[in-house]
Chains A and B, each alone.
Chain A
Amino acid sequence: MVLAIGCGASPPQDAGAAPQAAAPAEAPNPASATPAGSAAIQGAIRFDGTAPAREKIQMAADPTCQQQHAAPVLSEAVVVNDNGTLKHAFVYVKSGLSGSFAPPSRPAVMDQHGCWYEPHVLGVQANQPVELRNSDATLHNVNAKPSQNPPFNLAQPVQGMKTTKKFAKPEIMVPLKCNVHPWMSAYIGVVEHPFFAVSDASGAYALSGLPAGTYVVEAWHEKLGTQTQSVTVADGQTQSVDFTFKAQ
C-alpha cells in the first residue's frame, strides 16, 4: 500500500529540452502553505502508445534566441520520458477538500530563458504571487489568456525584468504565449489549495500533507486531455494513483 517513490532522486536529463535556467533555485512546487495533514497521494503518469515525434523549434527569427542553443530545441507539448511516462502533466485535488488555504507569500517563478518558458507547466495557488521573469537580452511579452481571470499582455523588453502578477480565481489552465517568439508556450494551473504537482522527467507526481479524506484527483495534459480518479486516504498513509494517457 505505502509506496516509497524516490521523488528526490535526480531525474534523467531531458536532452531535447532547453538548458535549465541558471537563476531560479526554488523548487518548482507544491507550494509552501502549512501542511494540513499527513496523508499523501502519489503516482506516475503513464503513456500508452507510440511517442509522437517532437517538433524541432526554429529560432532563426531572433538571433538572440538561436545563439543560446547549441543543440536543437524540441517542442515540449508531448514529452514521453525514457521510462514510458509523461512529463508536464498537471495533477491536483479537484474536489473533496474543505476549508480554505492561505496562499504562500513566496512567489512561483515563470522564467523566460533561451526564448523558452521555464517551467513549461507551473502550478500556483490562487492569489499566490507569480513572478514573470525575463532572463534573455531580447524582448519578450507575456500574453496570458485565462478565461476565469482577467487576461493581460505585458512586455518585458529588458534582461532581468521581473513582473509579479496574481490569479485570483482557480483556473485549469492559464495559457501563456509570447507574440514575439510564437513557439513559446506555457501553462499555469491555478488552484485554491496547495495540493498540486507537475509530473517530472520520471513521470512521477506527489501530493503530500493532505488531510485524511476522499478526493477526486485530476490529471491534465495540454494535448491528451484530462482524467480523474477517486481515492480515499487516511492520516499517515500514502495512496498510489497512476494515470494512463493514450496516444492520439
Chain B
Amino acid sequence: MSSVYRHLQRIPAALNRLVPLGTCVVLWLTWVGTSLAARPEPDPKAGEAAYQQHCARCHGVAGKGDGVDARRFYPRPRDLSLGVYKFRSTASGTPPSDEDLFRILTDGLPGSNMPDWRHLDEPTRWQLVAYLKSLAPIFTDAAPEPVAVSGDPGLAKADLAAGRAVYEKLGCAACHGALGRGDGPSAATLVDDWGMPIRPRNLAQGWGYRGGGEARAIFLRLMAGIDGAGMPSYQGAVSPEEAWHLAYYVASLQEPARWHPIVRAAFVRGPLPKTAEDPQWQAAEVTDLALRHVVTPEGAWTSPPTVTMVSLRALYNEEAVALQAQWDDPTHEAQPPGDALAVVLQPQGLAGDVATLQAWPASGAPSLDVCYWSAEGPHAHEAVVPDYEAVRREGPGRVPLISQARYNEGRWHVVLVRPRRPAEPSGAHLIGPGASLPVAVAVWDGGMAEARAVSPWIDVRFDADRATARHE
C-alpha cells in the first residue's frame, strides 16, 4: 500500500519522463472528469458574475488585461478583448476552441500566474468560457480552424534523431538555443503585443511549459503557434510526421524537476571537490528550487525573469561544505553588471526574522550571512551584511571563499567551498555536527542589473549518522 502511495506521489515528476503508466492514469482521470458534467446553456449573467468575482482582479473589469495586479505580472495577463489566445489547438489567427478555453481554466498555465480553477464547478467554468467569448469580436467574426492532430507514433516509435534534425532544419535554435535552454541569438529581442520583453520557453524545464509538456501539446504549439508571443505557426512548413518526431525530441529535452523539501548533503572522506566536473558530486542528491522574480519598488517588472530555477547539491567533510549551484541563464555576462549568485545563510544568533529574501534587504531587517560569487571577479566572498552591496565592496569582515565557475550552453555551474567553523567574519554561521543549515539563494542575470530572482529558505541537512556509517 505504502509503495503504491509513493508511486502516486512521484507521478507529477515522472510525467516529464513520459512514464507510460502514469500518463495513462492521469489522462484517463482527466477524460473521466471532463466527460461526466454536462455543458450548460450559456447564461451571460452567471458568466459575468463569475468573471467579476474570479478574473477581474488580474484581467480587468472589462477584460482589458488591466486589473489591479496586472503590472506585477510576468507575463502580463491577457487583454481578453483582443481575442488573441496563446494556447490553442487552432490555426494561427483563428480563435481558440471552447475546449481550449475550458482546458486553460481547468489546468491553468503552469509557470505563469494563471492558476487552475478546478475548484469552480464545471458548469461555472463553461459559463466563464461563454463570457470570455463575448468579450472579443473574433469569436463572432471567425471560426476556429482546428489543427489536425493525427499520426502520433507514440514514444516507442518516435525517432529522436530525426526530431533533432527537424529542430535544426526549422531554426528552433534561433530562439530556444542549441540545447533548448532559451538562449538562442534572437531570444533577448522578443517582445509581446504591448512591446514588453518576453522570453522563449526554456525547453529543458518541462514544468514551465504553459500549454503542457507532453508531445501532443508540443505538436500543437508547433502547428498552431503561440499568437501574441514570438512563436510562429509551422503549419504548412513541416509535415505532421516531422512534427511528431520534433515534439518527442523536444519532450526528451525536459529535465525532470527534483523539488525535494531539503538539500541532503553527502559526506565525503578526504578533500572536497573544487570543480563542478568532480565525479564526487554524483554522490550528492540534486534539489531544485523555483525562483521568484523580485519586482521593482513600484511593483512593476522591468525585464522578464530569465532565471527561474536553481539546482543545489552539497558535499561536506569535517572541515567544510561544498555547494554546487546550477542555473540556466540565456546570456553570459562577465562585465559589470555581471551574472552573480548569493548563497545566503542565517548568522549565529540572528536577531529578528527574515521570512523570505523577497523582502530583503529592507530597512530595519537584520543582517544576513552572504556568500557572494560574481562572474565579474576572480573570488567569491562571504560577509555578514545588511544588504548585497556591502558584500560586493572591499571592507572589513569580508573573507574570500574558494570558488569555481563554468558557463556552458546557457547554464552556470558554480562551486562554493565554505568552512564549517569560520574564524571570520564574526557572526558567520557555524555548521555543527548533525546540523541543519537553512539557506536561500539569490541569482542575478547581469544584463539586467535590477533583475534578481530569489528562492525560499531550504534546509541543508548534514546527516551525522549517515556520515558515520559511511566512515565505517
A-side residues, CB < 8 A to B, are 61-62, 138-139, 141-143, 145, 150-158, 161, 163, 179-182
| Distance of A19 Cα from B170 Cα, bound (Å) | 25
Q: Which residues of B contact A138 (CB under 8 A)?
A: 171, 174
CB distance from B85 to the nearest CB of A (A): 11
| Distance of A129 Cα from B94 Cα, bound (Å) | 18
| Distance of A154 Cα from B138 Cα, bound (Å) | 19
Q: Which residues of B contact A154 (CB under 8 A)?
A: 92, 225, 232-233, 235-237
| Distance of A163 Cα from B230 Cα, bound (Å) | 18
CB distance from B410 to the nearest CB of A (A): 16
Is residue B155 within 8 Å, beta carbon to beta carbon, of the partner chain? no
Q: State whether B189 touches A182 (Cβ < 8 A).
A: yes
Q: State whether B186 touches A181 (Cβ < 8 A).
A: yes
| Distance of A134 Cα from B190 Cα, bound (Å) | 20
- Residue from A139, A143, A151, A155 whose CB has the most chain B CB atoms within 10 Å: A155
**Contacts of B333-385 to chain A: CB distance below 8 A:** none
B200 closest partner in A (C-beta): A179
Q: Which residues of B contact A152 (CB under 8 A)?
A: 92-93, 227, 233
A153 and B189 contact, Cβ closer than 8 Å, known pairs A141-B232, A143-B232, A158-B169: no
B-side residues, CB < 8 A to A, are 84, 92-94, 138, 141-142, 169-171, 174-175, 185-186, 189-191, 193, 225, 227, 230-238
Q: Which residues of B contact A151 (CB under 8 A)?
A: 84, 92-93, 227
| Distance of A143 Cα from B198 Cα, bound (Å) | 15
| Distance of A138 Cα from B92 Cα, bound (Å) | 21
Q: A156, A179, A180, A181: which contacts B237 (Cβ < 8 A)?
A: A156
Told that A150-B141, A179-B230, A182-B191 touch, could you supply 20 new A-B pairs with CB distance under 8 A?
A61-B186, A62-B174, A139-B171, A141-B232, A150-B93, A150-B138, A150-B142, A151-B227, A152-B227, A153-B230, A154-B232, A154-B235, A154-B236, A155-B233, A155-B234, A158-B237, A179-B175, A179-B189, A180-B175, A181-B186
A153 and B232 contact, Cβ closer than 8 Å, known pairs A139-B170, A139-B171: yes
A157 and B237 contact, Cβ closer than 8 Å, known pairs A138-B171, A152-B92: yes
Main secondary structure of the interface of B (DSSP, over half): loop
Q: A61, A62, A143, A157: which contacts B234 (Cβ < 8 A)?
A: A157
Q: State whether B234 touches A179 (Cβ < 8 A).
A: no
- Residue from B169, B171, B185, B235 whose CB has the most chain A CB atoms within 10 Å: B171
| Distance of A48 Cα from B215 Cα, bound (Å) | 57
B185 closest partner in A (C-beta): A61
| Distance of A139 Cα from B92 Cα, bound (Å) | 18
Q: Which residues of A contact B235 (CB under 8 A)?
A: 154
A147 closest partner in B (C-beta): B82
| Distance of A62 Cα from B169 Cα, bound (Å) | 15
Q: Which residues of B contact A179 (CB under 8 A)?
A: 175, 186, 189-190, 230, 232
CB distance from A167 to the nearest CB of B (A): 11
A61 closest partner in B (C-beta): B185
Q: Which residues of B contact A62 (CB under 8 A)?
A: 174, 185-186
CB distance from A149 to the nearest CB of B (A): 8
CB distance from B174 to the nearest CB of A (A): 5
A to B CB contacts below 8 Å, 28 in the list: A61-B185, A62-B186, A138-B174, A139-B171, A139-B174, A142-B232, A143-B230, A143-B232, A151-B84, A151-B227, A152-B93, A152-B227, A153-B93, A153-B231, A153-B233, A154-B235, A154-B237, A155-B225, A155-B237, A157-B169, A157-B238, A161-B237, A179-B186, A179-B189, A179-B232, A181-B186, A182-B186, A182-B190
Q: Which residues of B contact A180 (CB under 8 A)?
A: 171, 174-175, 186
| Distance of A10 Cα from B213 Cα, bound (Å) | 55
Q: State whether A163 touches B236 (Cβ < 8 A).
A: yes
CB distance from B221 to the nearest CB of A (A): 12
Q: Which residues of B contact A142 (CB under 8 A)?
A: 232
CB distance from A156 to the nearest CB of B (A): 6
| Distance of A244 Cα from B180 Cα, bound (Å) | 50
CB-CB nearest 5 A-B residue pairs: A139-B171, A141-B232, A179-B230, A152-B93, A155-B232
Q: Which residues of A contact B236 (CB under 8 A)?
A: 154, 163
Q: Which residues of A contact B94 (CB under 8 A)?
A: 150
Q: Which residues of B contact A153 (CB under 8 A)?
A: 92-93, 225, 227, 230-233
CB distance from A110 to the nearest CB of B (A): 15
Q: Which residues of A contact B93 (CB under 8 A)?
A: 150-153
Q: State whether B170 touches A157 (Cβ < 8 A).
A: yes
A157 and B186 contact, Cβ closer than 8 Å, known pairs A143-B230, A151-B84, A152-B93: no
CB distance from A177 to the nearest CB of B (A): 9
CB distance from A182 to the nearest CB of B (A): 4
B233 closest partner in A (C-beta): A154
B231 closest partner in A (C-beta): A153
| Distance of A161 Cα from B237 Cα, bound (Å) | 8
| Distance of A163 Cα from B84 Cα, bound (Å) | 22
- Residue from B138, B141, B169, B232 whose CB has the most chain A CB atoms within 10 Å: B232
A183 closest partner in B (C-beta): B189
A141 closest partner in B (C-beta): B232
CB distance from B51 to the nearest CB of A (A): 24
A156 closest partner in B (C-beta): B237
Q: Which residues of A contact B234 (CB under 8 A)?
A: 155, 157
| Distance of A156 Cα from B237 Cα, bound (Å) | 6
| Distance of A143 Cα from B93 Cα, bound (Å) | 10
B141 closest partner in A (C-beta): A150
| Distance of A179 Cα from B200 Cα, bound (Å) | 11
Q: Which residues of B contact A157 (CB under 8 A)?
A: 169-171, 234, 237-238
A151 closest partner in B (C-beta): B93
B84 closest partner in A (C-beta): A151
| Distance of A128 Cα from B84 Cα, bound (Å) | 25
Q: Which residues of A contact B232 (CB under 8 A)?
A: 141-143, 153-155, 179
CB distance from A83 to the nearest CB of B (A): 35
CB distance from A13 to the nearest CB of B (A): 30
| Distance of A1 Cα from B237 Cα, bound (Å) | 53
Q: Which residues of A contact B92 (CB under 8 A)?
A: 151-154
CB distance from A151 to the nearest CB of B (A): 6
A63 closest partner in B (C-beta): B185
| Distance of A139 Cα from B238 Cα, bound (Å) | 13
| Distance of A177 Cα from B448 Cα, bound (Å) | 25
B138 closest partner in A (C-beta): A150
| Distance of A168 Cα from B237 Cα, bound (Å) | 23
CB distance from A132 to the nearest CB of B (A): 11
B173 closest partner in A (C-beta): A139
CB distance from A155 to the nearest CB of B (A): 4
Q: Which residues of B contact A182 (CB under 8 A)?
A: 186, 189-191
